[in-house]
Amino acid sequence: MTVVDIRIELKKGVADPEGSNTKKTLESLGFKGIDSVRTVKVFEIVIDAPAEEAKARAEEMCRRLLANPVIQNYSIVAR
Amino acid sequence: MTVVDIRIELKKGVADPEGSNTKKTLESLGFKGIDSVRTVKVFEIVIDAPAEEAKARAEEMCRRLLANPVIQNYSIVAR
């Protein structure tokens, strides 16, 4: 069993309305010094395979379903 | 400047329909050996403060806005 974290984030320059609205709301609550807020999606997948194979399968999952290469980057960590 | 990752996940036992639908879809694409898929939300916040203070502010952001303590756990990593 391997726990794989697939972290999917928006590419630089792609608008992140949820992040910018969260920033505005935090500021309206009085939080200071916030430079930026970005949202990231993580899929935590438990795969019944050793780490190397689980990572390879996760990579294929990203290519075939989970990530949109036009606007998103992904990274995979097995732990 | 400190980059703080706020990781918000559902508590054990709370239904995660997005995760379970993702699991079903991956299986329908032919992926085998998937034990579970859970979705996690990460806010990546850049705060203009040293690490310790940035973490303390992020903790307060979770309590006041970002996390719902009834169904979610959160963890904070400064990097």
Chain segment B25-77, per-residue pLDDT in tens: 999 999 999 999 999 999 999 999 999 999 999 999 999 999 999 999 999 99
For the record, the structure tokens of A26 come out as 């935090």
Distance CA A19, CA B1 (A): 18
Are B2 and B69 in contact by the 8 Å Cβ rule? The answer is no
Q: Which of A31, A44, A57 sits opposite B38 (nearest CB)?
A: A44
Task: Confirm whether the ipTM is greater than 0.90.
Answer: yes
pTM of the model: 0.93
Beta bridge partners of B4: B45, B78
Q: Find, in chain B, the residue whose alpha carbon is nearest to that of A23.
A: B45
Question: In Å, how far is B52's CA from the nearest CA of chain A?
Answer: 14
Q: Where are the alpha helices (DSSP H) in A1-79?
A: 17-28, 51-61
Q: Which residue of A has its CA nearest to B53?
A: A33
Instruction: Write out the two tokens for A42.
Output: 């993580």
Instruction: Tell me the pLDDT tens digit for each residue of A5-61.
Output: 999 999 999 999 999 999 999 999 999 999 999 999 999 999 999 999 999 999 999
Supply the range of the domain harboring residue A41: 2-78
Judge whether A45 and A4 are in contact, CB under 8 Å. yes
d(CA B9, CA A44): 10
Nearest to B31 among A26, A38, A61 (CB): A61
Q: Which residues of B touch A (CB under 8 A)?
A: 1, 5, 7, 9, 19, 22, 25-26, 29, 31, 33-49, 57, 60-61, 64-66
The closest alpha carbon to A5, from A51, A70, A69, A68, belongs to A51
CATH at B18: 3.30.1280.10
What total of structural domains would you count in chain A?
1
